[in-house]
Homo-oligomer: A and B are copies of this chain.
Amino acid sequence: MAIKRGLFVGRFQPFHNGHLEVIKDILKETDELVIVIGSAQYSHRLDNPFTAGERITMIRNALDEAKIPVSRTWTIPVADVNVHMLWVAKIVGYSPKFSVVYGNEPLTRRLFMEAGFKVKPVTFHRRAEYSATEIRRRMLENKNWETLVPKNVATYIREIDGVKRLQDLAKTDKMEKQK
């Protein structure tokens, strides 16, 4: 196959500027990129507030804004298997053929390397801020998070009232104790 395809896995809770920079970088050296939305089954949790469908929408919105042709990407939601020995096989089964895996996440790197794939690191920009954990923290504390995500993603999160959802979920643990 003449087309060179990379693969990048993330949870994108939410999709932010750091993700976008990485995608741009990878697309400089591959023809196409498979963007795997990991932990697709989760939503409405403190560390996974958005559904797979919402995250797919964020990514499409961000690609549009960045003028990246949708046709150069494949966005694929994949639910966890938990059984790590099966994970690479699942990604392979849900994705179009790819030849390089991009990422710094050690488990992903390790599993793909053990399976014989070529794995390349990526460069994250402004890590302390372009971080989903940091963004969720700011959402919870009503601090500025909009500048850390593409404009269209911020708009979409406001449309679906995402910050309120996260703040509601944050109350859970404490109330739980009353049960």
Residues of A within 8 A of B (CB): 1, 10-13, 18-19, 40-45, 51-54, 56-57, 60, 64, 69-71, 74, 76-77, 79, 81-86, 88-90, 92-97, 104-107, 109-111, 114, 124, 127, 131-133, 159, 165, 168-172, 175-179
Contacts and interface: CB of A to CB of B under 8 A. Distances in A.
B93 A168 contact: no
A90 to B, nearest CB: 6
B169 A110 contact: yes
A169 B107 contact: yes
A110 to B, nearest CB: 5
A81 to B, nearest CB: 7
A168 B60 contact: no
A90 B84 CA distance: 10
Nearest to A84: B44
Contact of A179 (B64, B95, B132): B132
